[in-house]
Structure 1
């Protein structure tokens, strides 16, 4: 089963919230900084969530954390869409939105051709 705590959605902070924070403390982060940090959370799309469930793919919190960090690294290197390959799964992810787009188990992935990706992340675990 999929860990429901991993289904974190990045939510935008409204400008009104930013303005009230700024009014109370001018040294706080800007709206764009807050929004950027909020977008750094790993999100699993509805489609990917369904694929994880129907294909019985289970990743523990440590694996999700590693995937998230590697996606951030890939994004810094200019990769926008990545194939993340673990021991048990292949995930297609968008680095800008930190979103898992789809998921396949390794057996399915062996017979697929992945398109529209510009980077691959190989993980042993």
Structure 2
């Protein structure tokens, strides 16, 4: 016949009150929120340039200084905070279409070239 071993388990259950369970859940939630907030705050707000936009910038010999990029970046993130998803950015030397949602420059053209263009699918304009 088969032999079975029997082991005794202590019968002292650990009972936690609802308030203890809630405080642990809240502490876990607050910690994960804190972590998320901290990582979001440390992420630098930087615009990316799509492959297409990069090609256009090079083809059209458009030069934008670091300071100008910083102004564009700041304004795009400000527009995004106000609900703008795809702004047209008009600069002295260039016009950019930006996806504020993805923080990506979609296309670029010289400002003189932009005079004869019709811009569609934009929901805001930033004039610098």
Quick check: TM above 0.5?
yes
1:34 to 1:53, Cα distance in 2 relative to 1, 3 A: same
1:53 matched to 2:58 = yes
5+ residue gaps, structure 1: 1-25
Cα shift at 1:94:
0.9
**Runs of 4+ residues over 4 Å off in structure 1:** 26-29
Distance in 1 between residues matched to 2:74 and 2:122, nearest whole Å: 18
What corresponds to 1:111 in structure 2? 116
Query: Which of 1 and 2 has greater Rg?
Result: 2
**How many residues are matched?**
98
| Cα displacement string for residues 28-76 of structure 1 (whole angstroms, at most 9, x for unaligned residues) | 9524752575373210000000000000000000000000000011001
Match of 1:84 in 2: 89
Q: TM-score, normalised by structure 2?
A: 0.69
Structure 2: 5+ residue runs without aligned partners? 1-30
Instruction: Please give the alpha-carbon distance, in whole angstroms, between the structure 1 residues aligned to 2:35 and 2:88.
Output: 32
- 1:65 counterpart residue number: 70
